[in-house]
Structure 1
């Protein structure tokens, strides 16, 4: 299997094939919601980008008080993302090349650029692995990241995650090049890429310890304090300048000194208060009763990577930790330790530090969403490939069939997941069902913090032919809320749950929502005066000939299913 990769033609063709394969996986079904804009964060960024006006001069662009690329000047009081992704999408959506998208050009252009940036991560994974290990490991690591499901899913969304992931991976690339190459243009590239990462999302600050550790390794290797200081000054200067230039909305006043906008600081504080433990902010309720560490690890292994690749990644991380510790205990003196670890293994130490630091930091937070772990997925792929090439393949060289089967199993999950983009969105299918089966004039429910159904489709299929009554399930249960909810149930002909946002989250907090939990239990058990008449799903499935295998991912984190393949439940009042 490894010898096959040694041919000269193969050396040139395979990387390109992997990059094109990764691109195909990320743009397949790019209009997955049939232009219904069913991702709330994407909707927000689309509306913000649509409202932006391209500046007439560089001076206008750099002036936070007048720039129309600044969301705060467009009537948006709360904005916690960077403006680099929206600025890029705004620029390209103005191009004649994308005129075919018409009104939807912003969302679709954003998704396409998001996919391109994640393919950029695949390319960076290849070159990082090639610099640290060898070409075989580089090919395998690029392939493993290309088939990782969470990156594939997030590439289908116009959000900031893939942009951030790209620039953090680029930062890591320049960091290892600096440590090994001692060139000033690497420290400049490091500053440029890190500043761009900050301009995508301020959470790039979490990467600062990795950069500091990298500079510590650089100092140990170069033995030059002055050289280290010069490189740090280059990196800091170019990081600040790049951040200021690519995301002016974070700042206020002149270019120098770069002062942080009070409005931005206020927004970040507001965001933090929404996610504190005990918060009743609706999107945060799903994490109220989870087990720290275990919950995010389970979602990464089972859904973000898929069980075969997830298990391989966990084993690879453990293997690398053990390998480094064995190397440490084998050393007889400080010089030997320095030669074995600092010189030879500093890249592995940086990778391990980043994986463990980000994972454990995010895993103990009150809101450990799957997408917050995206920046360590490239490094899962790198360590998994290294483990396979240095340990698995040599150990099981006589079991080529076994290793081939295992890697085929790795591919099954992404192929199954992609099937959700091959058919109509479940909310679109549910809307069609409603128009065909529910008479006009009936009263339908709609949970707050969720999308109402039916969606307006073709001519003659518009939601205004029904009465839509908004329910407030996320309001903590008290006599007033319960009385209002019961009164509204009396008026409703059909209960419509367009996802599991409410009934999947509220049971996590029985002290706050005892009435709602009992209501859902009775409803699902058939003990209420509503009867289920439709269940529309779009689970990942794999079909080979007459054989079909469907994967129910209801137990995955809410955000993994609620945007592109939610379960829709419809109940009819029977008495």
Structure 2
């Protein structure tokens, strides 16, 4: 007989034990005990529902709090692009027009967007719901805020899916609740829920796909196959990078076959899943295709866009937004950002320990097993073993595959955060909580440590955006007519705040720090420095990335070094930050060492330098 990876056998009830086997005088006591147990079970179920609703409400609050964090200034470049694209979209008059990529006005390629590498499901969804004008009549603002609200709702729904997945795999209510709680307080999902971008849309449909994959193994019903296909097709309709998850689906079907031994049925289910994926993808994202509904053909323009994206996202292109990735350590760089910033140190450390524990468990199980017994072992896999194995493989697969990419951005790892939460919760329930026993103080300390980072991060949404604060400072301290600098590839300051505070009252000279350090670039840059009265750096985009490449930017690297060491004719007069702040203690946590994208959108560091000498020397 084979055994589960947990080495746990199901308990067998004793059929001879019943009320009839008790002495007559104790039958009443036995019946009363059963009634008390029933009441206790009902109370426990009610308590679990109450706790879960509390977690769900808390998660949603964390995700919508400060939803208009930039006060309609549209300070996220990806949001601006999606908002402008969505605003231009027009609803087709017929279903046939919607499905026709060549004429549909929901196709970005037909509304002057020549470069579009996302799916259209997010933009189409936001276009539909923004018609309700939940955030006012000005459609440009309304689209962005509607997109953020949908993003928050989808990520809150992921909390529900985590609870369902954990229950299906482990059948442990406490573990399900803790898994949901851990994800609800994870900082990266909280931050991305405040943005109208495709990441949360993609994450939701990938987790939904995993849920139906788990249901397929436990329920063995064709309806779960169709729902799996529809969900994964929707994920592809959000972003083509969902394909990273397809090997997990294939592995799931392989394990499903080893469990059922029904090759014909499993192959039929797999073909049904693939068919459902194609239909869902084609209907929900027509722009990726060309021609008729079936057979679907991928749009040559979309393929060309993907190739262009790959060419600029490489270490040879020196594309300005991608310079930050040069000279980063593969795997270690994204792992550091996940542990320290995406999760926060308490959760991050628990994740590292929990993943190591799962790897050791799997290794120990197969160690020294005769090869001929492997098949028997696989045949005995339970839903618990099946789910844990898929989760572990998915986490490791995405960490390695994305961790060695040129652009290992934190947001690309969002689809493993729900599963990291499950492993953290499992390790806590099995290894940490038994040590706590009934010590309330230890449990309180545990949860307080987990809450410090998310609540500290949330503080950035309690105050004005740092670029708005910097704009206020400029209007108050710099007279009209003054010449200010503005870096290309960054947002210019000041921002328009009201009728009396407009950027047009200042002169602006555009600087190009990301241009190659040629003689012409150096000459233009120095001439710009001679013209300006104030050097305004509205984020760390340039000064934090360029100095890391002195061989490519010798002039700019020396310029920033001299600027910050006070060797130039510029004096720092303002430094505006909006760091996460620990509640009550009011201690700021500088997060500049994190990945650029983690700070540059919703809480960048702004530096303003005043020219103190009119004669600028090269």
Q: TM-score range by the shorter chain?
A: over 0.9
Question: 1:480 Cα deviation (Å)?
Answer: 1.4
Matches within 5 A, 1:25-424: 25-99=62-136, 102-133=139-170, 134-329=172-367, 331=369, 333-334=373-374, 336-338=376-378, 341=381, 344-397=384-437, 399-424=439-464
**Per the alignment, in what secondary structure is the counterpart of residue 570 of structure 1?**
strand
Q: Is the 8 A contact 1:127 1:138 kept in 2?
A: yes
Which residue of structure 1 aligns with residue 520 of structure 2?
480
Question: 1:343 Cα deviation (Å)?
Answer: 6.0
Question: 1:161 Cα deviation (Å)?
Answer: 0.2
Question: 1:329 Cα deviation (Å)?
Answer: 2.4
**Per the alignment, in what secondary structure is the counterpart of residue 389 of structure 2?**
helix
Q: Residues 283 and 4 (structure 1 numbering): CA distance in 2 closer, same or farther, change over 3 Å?
A: farther
**Per the alignment, in what secondary structure is the counterpart of residue 510 of structure 1?**
coil
**Per the alignment, in what secondary structure is the counterpart of residue 7 of structure 1?**
helix
Alpha-carbon distance between aligned partners in 2 of 1:115 and 1:71, rounded to the nearest angstrom: 24
Question: 1:330 Cα deviation (Å)?
Answer: 6.7
Which residue of structure 2 aligns with residue 536 of structure 1?
576
Among 443, 467, 487, the residue aligned to 2:507: 467
Which residue of structure 1 aligns with residue 542 of structure 2?
502
Question: 1:402 Cα deviation (Å)?
Answer: 2.7
Q: Is the 8 A contact 1:5 1:136 kept in 2?
A: no
**Per the alignment, in what secondary structure is the counterpart of residue 545 of structure 2?**
helix
Q: Could you say what the CA RMSD is over the residues aligned between the two structures, in angstroms?
A: 1.6
Alpha-carbon distance between aligned partners in 2 of 1:6 and 1:334, rounded to the nearest angstrom: 44
Question: 1:404 Cα deviation (Å)?
Answer: 2.8
**Per the alignment, in what secondary structure is the counterpart of residue 500 of structure 1?**
coil
Question: 1:399 Cα deviation (Å)?
Answer: 5.0
List runs of 5+ in structure 1 lacking aligned partners: none
**Structure 1 residue 519 corresponds to structure 2 residue 556:** no
Q: Residues 522 and 241 (structure 1 numbering): CA distance in 2 closer, same or farther, change over 3 Å?
A: same
Q: Is the 8 A contact 1:220 1:342 kept in 2?
A: no
Question: 1:97 Cα deviation (Å)?
Answer: 4.4
- TM-score w.r.t. structure 1 length? 0.97
1:136-184 per-position Cα deviation (integer Å, ceiling 9, x unaligned): 1110000000000000000000000000000000000000111121100
Deviant stretches of 4+, over 6 Å:
3-6
Alpha-carbon distance between aligned partners in 2 of 1:432 and 1:295, rounded to the nearest angstrom: 36
Q: Residues 299 and 5 (structure 1 numbering): CA distance in 2 closer, same or farther, change over 3 Å?
A: farther
Alpha-carbon distance between aligned partners in 2 of 1:107 and 1:205, rounded to the nearest angstrom: 27
**Per the alignment, in what secondary structure is the counterpart of residue 509 of structure 2?**
strand
Alpha-carbon distance between aligned partners in 2 of 1:516 and 1:391, rounded to the nearest angstrom: 52
**Per the alignment, in what secondary structure is the counterpart of residue 603 of structure 2?**
coil
- TM-score w.r.t. structure 2 length? 0.90
Q: Residues 97 and 457 (structure 1 numbering): CA distance in 2 closer, same or farther, change over 3 Å?
A: closer
Q: Residues 330 and 19 (structure 1 numbering): CA distance in 2 closer, same or farther, change over 3 Å?
A: farther
Question: 1:338 Cα deviation (Å)?
Answer: 2.3
Alpha-carbon distance between aligned partners in 2 of 1:337 and 1:303, rounded to the nearest angstrom: 39
Alpha-carbon distance between aligned partners in 2 of 1:344 and 1:121, rounded to the nearest angstrom: 20
Higher CA-based Rg: 2
List runs of 5+ in structure 2 lacking aligned partners: 1-39, 614-618
Q: Is the 8 A contact 2:288 2:298 kept in 1?
A: yes
**Structure 1 residue 425 corresponds to structure 2 residue 465:** yes
Q: Is the 8 A contact 1:285 1:508 kept in 2?
A: no
Question: 1:437 Cα deviation (Å)?
Answer: 0.6
Number of matched pairs: 571
Question: 1:5 Cα deviation (Å)?
Answer: 12
Question: 1:397 Cα deviation (Å)?
Answer: 2.1
Alpha-carbon distance between aligned partners in 2 of 1:505 and 1:4, rounded to the nearest angstrom: 58
Q: Is the 8 A contact 1:328 1:341 kept in 2?
A: no
Question: 1:417 Cα deviation (Å)?
Answer: 0.4
Question: 1:391 Cα deviation (Å)?
Answer: 1.9
Q: Residues 343 and 105 (structure 1 numbering): CA distance in 2 closer, same or farther, change over 3 Å?
A: closer
Question: 1:324 Cα deviation (Å)?
Answer: 1.4
Question: 1:407 Cα deviation (Å)?
Answer: 2.1
Q: Is the 8 A contact 1:444 1:467 kept in 2?
A: yes
Segment drifting more, 330-339 vs 310-319 = 330-339
Among 463, 467, 490, the residue aligned to 2:530: 490
Q: Residues 483 and 33 (structure 1 numbering): CA distance in 2 closer, same or farther, change over 3 Å?
A: same
Alpha-carbon distance between aligned partners in 1 of 2:474 and 2:299, rounded to the nearest angstrom: 47
